[in-house]
Structure 1
Amino acid sequence: MSSIRNDHEVARDLATEAGQQLLRLRARHGFDEPEVLRTLGDRTSHEFLFSALGRLRPSDAVLSEEGIDDKARLGARRVWIIDPLDGTREFAEAGRTDWAVHVALWENGDLVAGAVALPAQGSTLSTVDPPWLPDERPADQRLRITASRTRPPDFVQRLATQLGAEIVPMGSAGAKICAVLLGIADIYVHAGGQYEWDNAAPVAVARAAGLHVSRIDGGIPTYNGVDPSLPDILVCRPELSGTLLASIRDVTDRDGTGPHVGG
């Protein structure tokens, strides 16, 4: 891998290659021991990405879900934020395609590049060539909200009821945000607790594609924080953001939970 590629290409190529390694691991190991497969998947992808970034961008820091959080990153100008295997549960289930690899770059206070590989779907969405967002969605189409297939939050159910929206169950956060990018869903909203690596890469791609991205109180999500937790996120088509933020405020005000809703 050439070290002269730009950061967008590095993110795309590393996410794609890590995904290919995960597919090969799946094929070799099979699904009879899901816990073992999950552990192998996390470790294999992390070791590849960490090593490749150390070779290609040796001066940059790395924040990985599977690595030790070296607080030296807080003084770094550039930090790669990676989730080597997002949707570990789905990865270890035969036939599931809703898992992903996330690679994002934070530089001088903001996300500047990112890629989300969807290996079992045969695609990588990245800031190299962000997905094209249709100008309009069909006016008569019911809104679709992506939510966890195993732990759908009560908050999202209440929001869907208020909006008359359909809930589309799905695995990883990356797959959910990519579903919005690809027009499979209109909204991804989460308020049950995440970390920066869960959404940095898909947020970078979503922003590049022109989607609205914010916290559920309308604030701007920030990265490379002392505490890498990022409890909530909203990703949607820009024309829906005002209605959604108002509905979120209404739902949280009525149940008394405030802006950071558990579930």
Structure 2
Amino acid sequence: MDRSPEPMPEAATDDHVFAGWAAAGAGAMLVKLRDSGLSGQDLKDAGDLASHRFLMRLIGQYRPDDVVLSEEGKDDRRRLSARRVWIIDPLDGTREFAEPPRDDWAVHVALWEDGDLVAGAVAQPGLGTTFTTADPVAPARTGPSERPRLAVSRTRPPRFVAALAEDLGAELVPMGSAGAKVISVVRGITDAYVHAGGQYEWDSAAPVVVARAAGLHTSRVDGAALRYNQPDVLLPDLLVCRPDLAEPIIRLVRNYR
């Protein structure tokens, strides 16, 4: 089920294409697994492991000199002195993956090189789409008179989010998967994603680099820069939004904290 797909010719040399190809391949494999009859925790565990192995095999075959940081793997500390590190979340939104027909789950593949994120992809198999830095999406813009929509965690939204929504005159849109929430901003379905309370580098790396390629603002919720491939991979908060919303959201969040 998780046999390596035939490579796209461009994937051998183009990191943007490789990220999209790898994420899409893992996503297709996960769709088949989701239809296999497994359910509950068995499906979650099988999905995490199968996607991790699939991506590790592809990176090992086509990018053998690179290091990998994966949610499902042991932290390879060689990454701290490496020039190129793939940061992957083989199955983001495991809870939603195990709740068919929900589509708010994703596969994250990002490349960090020489100090910053440079390429990546977020596959959303439930939508049949992979969003990549190879082909950035220009988000649809809501007009200034329209009510902003804030994507938030369906299970653990920040404590201040209700006040933020009230002050912005915004509507809250709960959903699963950090990747799905960031991509909802890329797609123009929402206008901002605000998270605080715990994430790791693999939760946001691929969505962030895709959002940046689309021209969106990305930062910590207080406006600080997002830094990846750090000794401590905890990266507990995140803001991705339309550029015009960044300053008011950051200002308000600083008042709440």
Superposed, 1:13-162 pairs within 5 Å as 13-30=21-38, 33-134=39-140, 136-162=141-167
Cα deviation for residue 71 of structure 1 reads 0.5
Q: Give the aligned partner of residue 194 of structure 1.
A: 199
CA deviation profile, 1:91-132 (whole Å, cap 9, x unmatched): 000210000000000000000001000001110000000101
Q: Secondary structure at the match of 1:102?
A: strand
Query: What amino acid is aligned across from residue 92 of structure 2 in structure 1?
Result: D
RMSD: 1.1
Cα deviation for residue 215 of structure 1 reads 0.8
Which shows bigger deviation, 13-22 or 154-163? Answer: 154-163
Give unmatched runs, 5+ long, in structure 1.
253-263
Q: Secondary structure at the match of 1:244?
A: helix
Superposed, 1:144-183 pairs within 5 Å as 144-183=149-188
Q: Secondary structure at the match of 1:229?
A: coil
Cα deviation for residue 5 of structure 1 reads 3.2
CA distance in 1, matches of 2:246, 2:159: 21
CA distance in 1, matches of 2:93, 2:176: 6
Query: What amino acid is aligned across from residue 130 of structure 1 in structure 2?
Result: P
Q: Give the aligned partner of residue 217 of structure 2.
A: 212
Q: Secondary structure at the match of 1:28?
A: coil
Q: Give the aligned partner of residue 4 of structure 2.
A: none
Cα deviation for residue 241 of structure 1 reads 0.8
Given the alignment of the two structures, is residue 230 of structure 1 paired with residue 235 of structure 2, yes or no? yes
Query: What amino acid is aligned across from residue 9 of structure 1 in structure 2?
Result: V
Which shows bigger deviation, 40-49 or 234-243? Answer: 234-243
Query: What amino acid is aligned across from residue 4 of structure 1 in structure 2?
Result: A
CA deviation profile, 1:121-173 (whole Å, cap 9, x unmatched): 11000000010134x42122111111111223322222112212110010000
Aligned residues: 249
CA deviation profile, 1:159-210 (whole Å, cap 9, x unmatched): 1122121100100000000000001100101111100000000000000110
Give unmatched runs, 5+ long, in structure 2.
1-6
TM-score by length of 1: 0.92
CA distance in 2, matches of 1:125, 1:198: 15
Query: What amino acid is aligned across from residue 89 of structure 1 in structure 2?
Result: R
Which shows bigger deviation, 11-20 or 144-153? Answer: 144-153
CA distance in 2, matches of 1:70, 1:34: 30
TM-score by length of 2: 0.94
CA deviation profile, 1:58-101 (whole Å, cap 9, x unmatched): 00000000000010110100000000000000000021000000
CA distance in 1, matches of 2:195, 2:208: 13
Query: What amino acid is aligned across from residue 49 of structure 1 in structure 2?
Result: L
Cα deviation for residue 52 of structure 1 reads 0.6
CA distance in 1, matches of 2:248, 2:190: 16
Sequence identity (%): 57
Cα contact 2:150–2:165 (8 A) shared by 1:
yes
Q: Secondary structure at the match of 1:29?
A: coil
Q: Give the aligned partner of residue 255 of structure 1.
A: none
CA distance in 2, matches of 1:156, 1:228: 24
